[in-house]
Amino acid sequence: MQLFELSFVAAVLLAATPILYAALAGALSAQAGVFNIALEGQMLWGAFAAVAGSYYTGSAWGGVLVALLSTALFAVILAVGSARWKADPIIIAIGTNLLALGLTGFLMRVLFDVSGSFSPRGLQGLPKMAFLADVPVIGPIFAGQTVLVPLAFVVIVAAGLWLKRTPAGLRLRGVGEHPDAATALGVNVASYQTWTTIVGGALCGVAGAQLALGNVTVFTENMTAGRGWIAVAAVMLVAGRPFWLPVACLGFGAAEALGFRLQGIGAPQQLTDAAPYAITLVVLVLTRIGFARRNRSRTLIDS
Amino acid sequence: MSTTTPPDAPSTPPAAPAGATPAPRPAARILNTALRHPAVVPIGAVVVALLIGAAIMLAAGLDPIVAYTAVVSGALEPGTLDYTFSVWGFICGMALAAAIPLRMGEFNLGGNGQLVLGGLTAALIAGYAPLPGPIVIPLAVIGAAVVSGAFGALSAPLATRFGIPIIISTLLLSPVAVAIVSYLVRFQIGEAGSAVAQTPRLPEGARMWALGDFSYSNVGLLVIIAMMIVFWVVDSRSAVGYELRVVGANRRFGAYGGVRVGRLALGAMAAAGAAAGVVGAIIVMSSPYRLIDGALISPGYTFAGVAAALLAGGRPLLVPVTAILFTVLQVGGAAMERSADVPRQLSDVLQGVVIVVLALRVVLDQRRSERSSA
């Protein structure tokens, strides 16, 4: 019985980790005052780049590096477009999300001559922490996971502390809170927003790498399947505060893992697939029940 | 959320700097005026996107000229023109679903859910209501519009009461609707013993009326054209259309001027959902006359429609024109894959590039204003 419960914890962590990395990217952007809804496309690009990188370099960590760097590069479109050129970040994000979907499918056909999914023989996935297998409690949870899973929590705590406790973090929050005041204090707003968005791209690259080389070892067309949007919802849920992200993302991870369990006992896949979205929306609504009284019609008027 | 300004406000002509600099030569002035024409931005975006697409193909060792020729000839050859027309209608309908909220600066990205709910409603009404054709066909279309309209309208109170942006709520609601419809078709109302998850064929009397000798396009195409005309009239001639555009241009000003933004959003989202629902109904009531699991969303009409609406800036008269571009890409993409061996996904790449280039057009505006103020 205990084994069953621990394996469920492991499944929750596995489902939550890619969303955690992407949501951290979104939270940092939110703190810098950029509404970043490009997470879905960036994560998808990261997943493709990770698999392609692992295939060409023969090493899973090579794949992670390729994903991290190329997704950061992909995020430059949004970063420079919205922060420096003041273009609408929502329209750019809609465009880059479509671009990522098309480009990954296109490149899969052109480079590897397959469509649908790509998992060549000998494709290196990320190593699991099998050395933990004999440790009680920790073993059953983490032995089957990649090191990127615990690292996600470390990165989130580090980012949260950086935002809270360092001068640069304070300036970043100031940029998001009141750009004019930040400018008056000599902070380069555009530069902070640009680099935050690019770092967010790198995080989404890691999210994609964990998805394609950690959770599974394959790239499938549109394999992110809305996880980037759940990450956006998670950012809204915690109002961009990184320390709360694990709570939100583990909740979504639990919804997904529970869906798999229910499928195992015969629940139709269509309904369990919809569960994370429905639960996300319900949770968003529940956390904002007092919203109307506090800020009547604010989103529609002040946005 | 930031708002998009519909770019139809004519930009003020450059004030000639009083005697400080010599007046530009006539040729330069004509060029300058020509560059300010409202058609420059969308056409420029398309040209840049096609060039980027060509660069991608060259990098991949493919011949862009052969590919683009195959796209155009594949979409416009006489044999497929009938099919191209019907796809243009569907993309126009989904472009309406995106353009109506876009007019007030909101994004409806939940077209897929609204589309399948409309399809489901039409399949149920047309398939099971024991009524004569002239009653059941309009009833199915109206029913689809009502159900999808109500579903689309859900996003408005979510924004006003709970502060969830429409772009997020439409995106989260859509997969739920898609999953529920998929479940119903697979397990509840599907044809027994069929290998594919699909409803039984609609009875003869409940199929959309044919249009002359066309085999794909039918009266549904006229319904979609009528919806576009209604949108154009409401947008340009009615108080509601004016409010939509005012709120789209400046939301605070609209609210200050007495526009009830929440109610306007409710109406816009209901109309958007209804437009998508009608498209779903027409697809189900056209050949092969049934609701097939996944068949409504897999052609990608929703995001082709979003792209067409964005490229048109939501303007009613431009939507059918920009929809032509994405129709040609969509229909010709398959031909390109067959005859030029270029993967069909290039169409999606071009859609994405067009939108990105369009969003970055502000750079052009900025450079211009810097130059004129210098």
* % of chain B exceeding 70 in pLDDT: 90
Q: What angle do CA B12, B13, B15 make, to 5 degrees?
A: 110
Chain A 186-205, residues with CB within 8 Å of chain B CB atoms: none
More confident position, B149 or B28: B149
pLDDT at B232 over 60: yes
Q: For residue B218, which phi and psi values (nearest 5 degrees)?
A: -140, -165
Q: How far is A2 from chain B (nearest CA, A)?
A: 33
Rounded to the nearest 10°, the torsion over CA B93, B98, B102, B105 is: 160
User: How high is the pLDDT of residue B5?
Assistant: 44
Q: Which CA distances in Å does B289 have to A152, A195, B124, B200, B205?
A: 50, 52, 12, 9, 11
Task: List all residues 6 or more positions away from A117 whose beta carbon is below 8 Å from its beta carbon.
Answer: A218, A219, A220, A221
How far is the C-alpha of B107 from the C-alpha of B155, rounded, in Å? Answer: 11
Beta carbons of A300 and B262 less than 8 Å apart: yes
Distances in Å between the Cα of B230 and the Cα atoms of B93, B235, B236 are 12, 8, 10
Judge whether A195 and A36 are in contact, CB under 8 Å.
no
Rounded CA-CA distance B318/B221 in Å is 18
Which chain B residues have a beta carbon less than 8 Å from that of A302? 251-252
Secondary structure class of B188 (helix, strand, coil): helix
Is residue B174 within 8 A of residue B252, CB to CB? The reply is no
Mean pLDDT rounded to a whole number for chain B: 85
Task: Say if B56 is an interface residue toward chain A (CB within 8 Å).
Answer: yes
Question: Is residue A121 within 8 angstroms of chain B, CB to CB?
Answer: no
Other beta carbons within 10 angstroms of residue B81's beta carbon come to 14
Q: Do B360 and A81 touch (CB under 8 A)?
A: yes
Tokens 């000229």 found at: B65
Kindly list the residues from chain A whose CB atom is less than 8 angstroms away from the CB atom of residue B345: 102-103, 105-106, 109
Within 10 angstroms of residue B134's Cβ, the number of other Cβ atoms is 10
Rounded Cα–Cα distance for residues A224 and A97 (Å) = 11
Question: Can you tell me the distance from the alpha carbon of B85 to that of B100, in angstroms, rounded to the nearest whole number?
Answer: 22
Give residue B327's pLDDT: 93
CB contacts of A301 in chain B (<8 Å) are 251-252, 255, 261
- Alpha helices (runs of H) in chain A, residue ranges in sequence order: 2-31, 39-57, 60-79, 89-112, 138-142, 148-165, 167-177, 179-184, 189-209, 227-237, 245-264, 269-287, 291-294, 298-302
* Residue recorded with tokens 């009397």: B205
Backbone angles phi, psi at A146, to 5 degrees: -85, 165
Residue A260's CB is within 10 A of a number of other CB atoms, namely: 14
pTM for this structure? 0.88
CA distance A204 to chain B (A): 19
B250 and B261 in contact (C-beta within 8 Å)?
no
Q: How many residue contacts between A and B have a Cβ separation below 8 Å? A: 184
Q: CA A302, CA B159: separation in Å to the nearest integer? A: 12
Transcribe B207-241 into DSSP letters.
SPPB-TT-SS-BHHHHHHHHHHHHHHHHHHHSHHH
Is residue B294 over pLDDT 90? no
pLDDT of B362 reads 64
Closest alpha carbon within chain A to B176: A274
CB contact under 8 A, A268 and B183: yes
Q: Find residues 96-135 of chain B whose CB sits inside 8 Å of chain A.
A: 107, 109
Q: Does B255 touch chain A (CB under 8 A)?
A: yes
A65 C-beta neighbours (distance < 10 Å), count: 18
Looking at the predicted structure, is the pLDDT value of residue B24 above 50? yes
Q: Choosing among A19, A40, A78, A106, which should be mutated to test the B contact, i.e. which has the most B CBs within 10 A?
A: A106
Q: Which residue of B has its CA nearest to A293?
A: B161
CB contact under 8 A, B165 and A299: yes
Helix/strand/coil for A117: strand
Identify the residue among B164, B186, B344 best suited for mutation to test binding to A, counting A beta carbons within 10 A and taking the highest: B164
Specify the 3-state DSSP secondary structure of B249: helix
The answer to whether residues A207 and A46 touch, using CB atoms and an 8 Å cutoff, is yes
Answer yes or no: are the C-beta atoms of A43 and A158 closer than 8 Å.
no
DSSP string for A176-220: HH-HHHHHHTT--HHHHHHHHHHHHHHHHHHHHHIIIIII-S-EE
Residue with tokens 């499944």: A11
- pLDDT (tens, 9 = 90+) of chain A, 303 residues, equals 455 578 888 888 888 999 999 999 999 999 998 889 999 999 999 999 999 999 999 888 999 999 999 999 999 999 998 888 888 889 999 999 999 999 999 999 988 888 888 888 888 888 888 788 788 777 777 878 888 988 999 999 999 999 999 998 888 898 888 888 888 888 888 899 999 999 999 999 999 999 999 888 889 988 988 899 999 989 988 888 888 899 888 888 888 888 888 888 877 888 888 888 888 888 888 887 765 555 554 455 554
What is the spatial distance between Cα B11 and Cα A292, in angstroms, rounded to a whole number? 38
Q: Other CB atoms closer than 10 Å to residue A114's CB: what's the count?
A: 12
- Residue count of chain B: 374
Find the residue in A nearest to B113 (Cα). A274
Q: What separation, in Å, do the N-terminal and C-terminal C-alpha atoms of chain B show? A: 32
Question: Strand, coil or helix: what is B279?
Answer: helix
Residues on chain B touching A75 (C-beta within 8 angstroms): none
Give the chain A residue nearest B360 (alpha carbons). Answer: A87
ipTM here? 0.87
Rounded distance between C-alpha atoms, residue B330 and residue B153, angstroms: 29
At B33-86, the pLDDT tens digits run 777 776 777 888 889 889 999 999 898 888 889 889 888 988 888 888 888 999
Nearest-5° Cα angle at B353, B352 to B358? 105
Cα–Cα distance, A168 to A165 (Å, whole number): 9
Token code pair at residue A201: 């791209």
